[in-house]
Structure 1
Amino acid sequence: MLMNSNYKVAFFDVDGTLADNELPRELGIYGRIPESAKRALSKLKEAGIEPVIASGRNYEKIADFAELLGVDSVISSNGTYVTFQGEPVANHYLSTELVKEMVEQFQTKQTDFLLETPEEILEYAADELLPENILQFLCHCPKEDLPSLDTEKLIAEKVAPTALNIHYKHVSKASGVEEILQKMGISSDQALAFGDEENDFAMFEKVGFPIAMGNGNDELKAKASYVTDTVKNHGIWKACLELELFEEE
């Protein structure tokens, strides 16, 4: 299959795409990424295709393994913090008024929560000053235990069976993809994306060539331009070769 040689960027989900979810969590993210995928990211850079990690995870937690992978561009915290080649491109900090209102409601309902900034995830004590660079709230609770949200501005996004992230409604991995494309001055037709789950739907809609992992969600596979092998069976490496994004070593 001869591909368009004009691709300039490739976006990668983490869990189930770069990292093998069937391996023990104790290995950490980097330890669960197949060596073939690590080589693929390096070969893509050599071919002039910028690899970008796109994740709901905190930037600092991504930055550690991204550096080991040689990846300089990251969409983190559900698109609320975006960097390109090591420099911040966009941040979507919650307004002070919204943060104060949410904190008060969480405390009234006695629901535990965490605050996320680009640098850390932290607990909040009533006598402390609130940080000014809060990207989102994190909580482990049923939706019915959440405070009343300003649904015009905010969304409570389910990221695990009992885990919710609350951030600006207009922000997502997809908006992060658009911000990277704008920074690079390229069109969506020059972008690829690799994903495996429902939360990659929006990202797939923003690129010219979406690629689903063999271990991925069936509905996502149906929307993909190409379905590759599973993570553990070197799906990323095989896709790059099949699509002629770089030559085999």
Structure 2
Amino acid sequence: MINFIICDDVKQYREMVEHIVVSYMMKNKLEYKTHVFKDYDSDFLKIVESKLSFKVYILDIETPTRSGIDIARLIRNKDVDSVLIFLTGHQELGHVVMKNDFLFLSYINKFDDCEKRLTKSLDKALQMFKIKSVIRFKDNGVVYTIPQDDILYITRDSVKRKCIIVTDYSEFHVGKNLAELEEEVNDNFVKTHRACLMNTKRILSFSKSQKEVVFDNGMTSDLISTRFDKELI
């Protein structure tokens, strides 16, 4: 799930930004949630501290009680993976953002084609998350996004001519072949069988004699061949 954390002290802009985000995500048919705040208060800071996945912060540079610059610094001290997008009605504050190494995605003037620029930034944010280890596929018209860290292994179903993505919480049947999925996954995945890719990040132990792996959630798999078992040693 992608989490959008929006903060602006002006109700008009909070509602505008949330509307843009909701419209964009509805078109993309992705699972998401918005978290909207009027100030950088204790509830906002709980979100910063939380383990929510795929955070996109859309931050007002100035609120009555706290600076978005200070908040961005706080976020980056705890989290280098989230996306930061700055909004402001004060273009002259741009140099303050630029001189800080926040690794932010964009700096948007609320009064300068805000909807178009924010939509483009959301495009980039989703692309970044795809690069950062997710698999996205469509099934029956619904687009699914699965964090690769959630995947235990991917195997081929020769009967249905599909691949099965096995996660902690479900199995997903994907209309792609194993070679295509091998191109999409990151370097944590290795081929352990001609019909299987395993996530080495999730493997707790491997028995070469029994040709079996135990994953960190207790699940096991014996989809290991002698030809490929060296990948696990």
More strand by share: 2
TM-score (normalised: structure 2) = 0.30
TM-score (normalised: structure 1) = 0.29
In our comparison, the structure showing a higher alpha carbon Rg is 2
